[in-house]
Copies of this chain bind each other. A is one copy, B any other.
Amino acid sequence: MIVDFTIFPTDAGESVSAYVAQVFEIIEASGLKYEHHSMGTNIEGDWDEVMAVIKSCRDLMLEQSNRISISLRIDERKGVTNGIERKVASARAKMNRA
């Protein structure tokens, strides 16, 4: 499955990039496939392994904040384990403008 994941403290003021940096460190150390983009990070793997990474990020945020906001959008398709590399390419191959 792929999860589009965002997390941030809602009591830390306008800039949250220092918190996002900590989340990047956890995700990149996890060994899972990931894709950072300007509105979140896509993480691909099995349910338990992806959710363990997300819980670690959440635990770290709660050490530094009283209130956090998390968004997860999940696409789970049987037999697909390389969605991060394949999904955009698959749509692009079907474009008239491709």
Contact = CB atoms under 8 A, between A and B. Distances in A.
B73 A38 contact: no
A13 to B, nearest CB: 5
Nearest to A37: B37
A39 B42 contact: yes
B36 A88 contact: yes
Interface in A57-80: 58, 62, 66-79
A71 B68 contact: no
Interface of A: 2-4, 6, 8, 10-11, 13-14, 16-18, 20-21, 24-25, 28-29, 35-40, 42, 44, 47, 51, 55, 58, 62, 66-79, 83-88, 90-98
